[in-house]
Amino acid sequence: AAAMPIISSPDTMRALEAAAHELVHNLQPVAFPTETVYGLGALALNVSATERIFSIKGRPADNPLIVHVSSFPMLHTLLPKDYVAPPAYTALMKHFWPGALTLLFPRDPAIVPALITAHQPTVAIRMPSHPVARALIAVADAPLAAPSANSSGKPSPTRAEHVRRDLDGKVGLILDGGACGVGLESTVVDGLHADGDIRVLRPGGITVEAIERVLREELGSSERIPQVLVHRRDYRDAAMEAAPTTPGMKYRHYSPAVPVYLLYTSSPPPVGSETLDADVFFASLRATGDAKPVKIGILAPNDSTLGTCDLPADGLDWTRFLLGPTAEPSVTAHLLFDGLLTLEQQGVDLILIEEVQEEQEGLAVMNRVKKAAGECRWIRFNKSG
């Protein structure tokens, strides 16, 4: 079970009390750190408080919010009376809560306002592990609805400074807890279907591999171990594609103000994407410069093709932001949004991101990168030789 975080500094306590006052008495959203990304929190069960989240972010009303709790008793106040969670949920909560895993639960209309869930029959709930997030919810003594603390469509913030740049003047208070450890949002999971399987609606900080391992370990002796269904190159679920199960995923997302290109350097790119040799591609970028050098940001692992290749200087001005070793996808996850926002801040004209393997945290990284890049900007990069 989740222990209460201990707050030792009086300054921290004062900041938390000020934030809780803003939430509870003024019904104003507050930005706060979680272990995944910064959140923009408001009282989940208060309709005018949560309406402010939608208006600050410019968020479409049909995209539901995640409710954050600091304890299991608080979780139970949100659920239908006498609700019993499926065995898979019990296993997942035991291993991953508090942490970067969000679970869908049935929504009791008498408890959870329809505004938060965009009229879905389910409510998404998670228990964050970041001590500041947990303490804020505990001091406010109420569940907080919190999307990522960015304008709708922008990359999620992983530092207080990112929030300030994006939402300056729109939020009254930002709690600064330093850089977020995970760096990508939580994994959103739906285990409420009759087949008992676990549908990953959004890959995130908790990997599919870790979820599969826990289900095997905890439910190995039961009749059937639930399958983990997730969109990957090798799997598509027709029902998942047809139904608007993750309303959030249909919108353009994670996009900085400048164009983003996803470059495939080893695996086959999706059907319909352009295939260009490196020198042809660079020449085409140079041509967009209007006599000025084109400023290009690169996001790539340290030891990858774009992380290590020589870059042509003539007419092109490069900034490389390295995403850690290819063998450590958690480091890439930690740095991805920071890299996008840092390159944007440095005033590059466009950003090139190199593909990573869709394994472990790499699956969530590629999910975000594809959305940032948009379908028409996937390019195969052939090293010229």
Distance from C-alpha of 66 to C-alpha of 104, rounded to nearest angstrom: 9
Order across the sheet with 122-126: list the strands.
Answer: 30-32, 39-43, 144-145, 66-68, 122-126, 101-106, 187-190, 198-202, 228-229
Distance from C-alpha of 41 to C-alpha of 37, rounded to nearest angstrom: 12
Q: Which does 227 bind (CB under 5 to 8 A by kind): Mg ion, ligand TXA, none?
A: none
Segment interacting with ligand TXA, rule: CB under 6 A, options 19-27, 245-253, 282-290, 346-354:
245-253
Residue 51 vs 317, nearer CB to ligand TXA: 51
Quick one: DSSP state of residue 298? E
Residue whose Cβ sits closest to ligand TXA: 248
Our finding on whether 148 is near Mg ion (CB under 5 A) is yes
Q: Are 102 and 57 in contact (CB under 8 A)?
A: no
Q: How far is the CB of 318 from ligand TXA (least distance, A)?
A: 31
Residue 146 vs 322, nearer CB to Mg ion: 146
> Which residues have a Cβ under 8 Å from the Cβ of 10 and sit 6 or more positions away?
none
Chain residues 54-93 in contact with ligand TXA, contact rule CB under 6 A? 63-66
Q: What is the 3-state secondary structure (H, E, C) of 140-198?
A: HCCCEECCECCCCCCCCCCCHHHHHHHHCCCCCCECCCCCCCCCCCCEEEECCCCCCCE
Q: Which does 188 bind (CB under 5 to 8 A by kind): ligand TXA, Mg ion, none?
A: ligand TXA
Residue 148 vs 186, nearer CB to Mg ion: 148
Residue 117 vs 342, nearer CB to ligand TXA: 117
Q: How far is the CB of 74 from Mg ion (least distance, A)?
A: 23
Residue 36 annotated as binding? yes
Q: Report CA torsion sign: 308, 37, 98, 16.
A: positive
Q: Count CB atoms within 10 A of the CB of residue 90.
A: 13
| Of 330, 275, 267, nearest in space to 301 by CA | 330
Tokens 């975000």 -> residue: 368
Q: How far is the CB of 182 from ligand TXA (least distance, A)?
A: 8
Task: List % helix, strand, coil for the chain (3-state, nearest 5).
Answer: 35, 20, 45
Distance from C-alpha of 164 to C-alpha of 78, rounded to nearest angstrom: 31
What is the C-alpha R_g of the chain? 21
Q: Count CB atoms within 10 A of the CB of residue 288.
A: 12
Residue 224 annotated as binding? no
> Which residues have a Cβ under 8 Å from the Cβ of 137 and sit 6 or more positions away?
68, 69, 70, 74, 128, 143, 144
Q: Which does 39 bind (CB under 5 to 8 A by kind): ligand TXA, Mg ion, none?
A: ligand TXA
Residue 183 vs 307, nearer CB to Mg ion: 183
Binding mask 22-61 for ligand TXA (x = CB under 6 A): ------------x-xx-x----------------------
Residue 57 vs 334, nearer CB to Mg ion: 57
Binding mask 179-218 for ligand TXA (x = CB under 6 A): ------xx-x------------xx----------------
Q: Which does 64 bind (CB under 5 to 8 A by kind): ligand TXA, Mg ion, none?
A: ligand TXA
Residue 201 vs 340, nearer CB to ligand TXA: 201
Chain residues 82-141 in contact with ligand TXA, contact rule CB under 6 A? 102, 104, 117, 120, 122-124, 128
Q: How far is the CB of 307 from ligand TXA (least distance, A)?
A: 27
The β-bridge partners of 300 are: 322
Residue 20 vs 182, nearer CB to Mg ion: 182
Q: Which does 199 bind (CB under 5 to 8 A by kind): Mg ion, ligand TXA, none?
A: none
Distance from C-alpha of 354 to C-alpha of 367, rounded to nearest angstrom: 13
Chain residues 291-320 in contact with ligand TXA, contact rule CB under 6 A? none
Q: How far is the CB of 293 from ligand TXA (least distance, A)?
A: 36
Q: How far is the CB of 231 from ligand TXA (least distance, A)?
A: 13
How are beta strands 187-190 and 198-202 bridged, if at all?
antiparallel
Q: Are 260 and 374 in contact (CB under 8 A)?
A: yes
Binding site: what residues are annotated? 36, 59, 63, 68, 122, 126, 146, 148, 156, 186, 202, 254
Binding site for Mg ion (CB under 5 A): 148
Binding site for L-threonine: what residues are annotated? 36, 68, 126, 146, 186
